[in-house]
Structure 1
Amino acid sequence: MADRSAERKRRRSKTPERTESVDSGVLTRSRSSERKKQKTEKDVKKEKRRSSFVRGRKSMHLLEQQEQQQQQEQQTTDEHTAATSGGNDTVWQAYADRLRTESSKWDSLCEEYCTAAGNAEKLARETTSDIPPWESLSAEQQRLLGGKPDLQGILDYTKKCREDLEVYVDKIAKTTKTLSTFESTAEAFISARANELGMKTFKRMEHFNSPMTLISKIVSKTDKS
């Protein structure tokens, strides 16, 4: 019994040390947890700052990329417009040069033909004379040719007759064409009128009673009476 009481006293005497040690452990743990919390808060703040900085850098980088892309697009559009305008200018210049060359060729041809026509007229004037051919002949030649027909007069007469004949033929052709159109129009009109007259002639007259209906009415009246 004495041993048991002594052990109890010892245990009682040791409990405050344990409580002190426990309190000190709790304090250290609380301090360490506070430190950890402070560290975690600092880390969170740092992470937030870092993330915001990174986001800012990313946004700046995106803005720079967008600006570069816009500049490139503007440059490409400017180059395209310049190329198209230059191409159009070259095409129009080629057309203008072609037209100039063609006009110069036509001018040269007209000049050549004008000169050729002038030379031909000059040569014709030199080779022809206003003196009639029979006046330049001798008396014997005139006597020999006097009984011959005038071929130039015949040629002139035939030329005039041909021109008159062409005019008459043209008039006859126009008259024939007019008569053919009149004939076709008259035939169409007559056929239309004939069809209309036939339809009116053989159409049943509804406001007149047929003999059959009249006889049936008379028979019905006699039966009733």
Structure 2
Amino acid sequence: MRNKIEIGPEDRIFVLTGAGVSAESGLPTFRDNGGLWNGYRVEEVATPEAWQENAERVWRFYAMRRKDGLQSEPNPAHIALAHLEEQLGDRLFLCTQNVDDLHERAGSKRVLHMHGELFRSRCSRECGREDFADQGIYETASAIPRCECGGRIRPHIVWFGEMPLSMDLILNELDRCTVLLVAGSSGTVHPAASFAQWAQRRGVRTFYVGPERPINADLFTEIFLAKAGEALPSLFDILA
């Protein structure tokens, strides 16, 4: 790749990764399957209403996603971002729309999952118990665990219609960054799709990496049309 993203000694880089990065590790996405995931519609498995209507169906879906997640491996994009963090330390802020743990397994230490985490669960009653690590596979109603308060345990996932996590921290980091890199996010899911606009208004350099132009392409200083795993390993020029 002839062009690189120069990162100077005073730069702070905000990285947003989306479903395209996980797809390169073999994890399917709703968008790539016409809004379906193995026959499930979003409304059936990824909304608060779906949980109220049929918690067993929701957990079967996430049991399938957990199985897929456990079988997947980090790809070169994950590894490249972990290496970039090693070089930049806390000057890099990694925010992901993905719920898998591939960034962590690649070596990234500071990852914010704005849509929750696949291998964590929480009480559906919001009784005050903190979310917790959980790799359980719950495929029947009787297998769904109960909290000490009696509430059913649900996936620690931000469903459609719910507020993304840690938005105050995310917006604060957007206000501090001098470079925004978006990788594998098509620009269709809000509020993440608005991050480039937020950064552009501040005069921040904005870059996109993905095999197709995003719908908000006009918000980026430069677009690299390539898979993240192909582009990211050689994309950065760290200046002393």
Normalising TM by the smaller chain, what interval? under 0.3
Question: Larger % of helix: which?
Answer: 1
Question: Larger % of strand: which?
Answer: 2
Determine which structure has greater relative contact order: mean sequence separation of CA pairs < 8 Å that are 6+ residues apart, divided by chain length. Answer: 2
Bigger Cα Rg:
1
